[in-house]
Amino acid sequence: MRIPTFKQLEADQQREGGVCYSYATRMHPNPYFYKYMWQIFWKGSPCERHAFLNSPDTLLSTKEAYDLRKKLADENLSYYLYNESYPRLDPASPWNPSSERWKGTQWAVAYDEDTDEPYKGHK
């Protein structure tokens, strides 16, 4: 995974133009299983390096991330894309939260309780 810096982003922009460098995992097709939180590092980001990667202020919902990605593509701007998945505490998910496998896991709310705006079925 690339640690985001404005210097490297500018070099990538000059070399290749509006390119997405993805450090994100693919989304599971069933939105009731996982919630995804996204980070997009671009020239308008509030900070860089680990401050960016560790800041809760840089987290985006799926819809916010896809809207920003479209804006950046339309403006031919390079960016780095990151995401993290969280299993949902949802009756429709197959997870057993009391299983040893999930010890210490950060859970997401059930899909129907999630207040984020959906994007192609994902919140």
Q: Divide the 123 residues of the chain into consecutive groups of 10 and give the mean pLDDT of each group.
A: 95 93 96 98 98 97 98 97 97 94 96 97 96
Residue of 42, 45, 52 whose CA lies nearest to 73: 42
Rounded distance between C-alpha atoms, residue 51 and residue 59, angstroms: 12
pLDDT over 70, % of the chain: 100
pLDDT at res. 1:
85
Give the range of the structural domain holding residue 86, as residue numbers without chain letter.
6-91+98-111
CB 86 within 8 A of CB 109: no
Split into its structural domains, the chain has a count of 1
**What's the pTM value of the predicted model, to 2 decimals?**
0.93
pLDDT at res. 45:
98
The pair of structure tokens assigned to 11 is 């070099």
Q: Residue 84: inside a domain, yes or no? A: yes
Q: Residue 59: inside a domain, yes or no? A: yes
Residue of 16, 15, 80 whose CA lies nearest to 43: 80
Q: For the CA atoms of 42, 4, 117, 35, what is the dihedral angle to 10 degrees? A: 160
Q: Residue 123: inside a domain, yes or no? A: no
